[in-house]
Amino acid sequence: MATETTLILFKPDGIQKGCTGAVLDRYLKEGFRIRGIKMLQASDELLEEHYAHISHLEFFPEIRAFMQETPIIALALEGENAIARIRTILGPTDCKEAEPGTIRNDFGSKDEFSRMHNICHASDSPETAAIELKRFFGEGEVFD
């Protein structure tokens, strides 16, 4: 297995529920190492870049508004096979489909917002992780 660094974003619902410490603790107990962490207010430009694949869709303004309700926390985590393992721990995008014991089942929304209010974003591939880490962390903000 390869050592990978991936991006996690704690979304506003996780911030509002006060579960970021419990979620971070789950990642750390799985042996992942923090390489970078910061809180930021997501700008329109940042969100349009991050969600470029859906920014043209009619529901994007709702996503942008949600992602700007509170500051978000960007986290660079490193570990063996980190991308796949973290996505397994997190569970599927829709919290209603997430298995018990996953982060999205345990902390996410089970209502009509279950695909958006799902606690965290996690990179889905090494290529995406590299792009997203550069998007949320500047030079010298991710450490060895």
Residue 28 confidence (pLDDT) = 98
Annotated catalytic residue, options 50, 53, 117, 121: 121
Give the predicted TM-score (pTM) of the model. Answer: 0.94
Helix axes 82-90, 20-29, angle to 10 degrees: 130
Here the CATH number for the domain that contains residue 56 is 3.30.70.141
Residue-wise pLDDT tens digits, 98-144: 999 999 999 999 888 888 899 999 999 999 999 999 999 999 999 99
- What is the share, in percent, of the chain residues with pLDDT greater than 90? 94
Tell me, yes or no, whether 142 lies in a domain: no
Tell me, yes or no, whether 132 lies in a domain: yes
| Average pLDDT estimate for 3-32 | 98
Range of the domain at 29: 3-136
| pLDDT greater at residue 114 or residue 97 | 97
Q: Is the pLDDT of residue 63 over 90?
A: yes
Question: Residue 53 catalytic?
Answer: no
Indicate the number of domains in the chain. 1
Tell me, yes or no, whether 144 lies in a domain: no
Tell me, yes or no, whether 143 lies in a domain: no
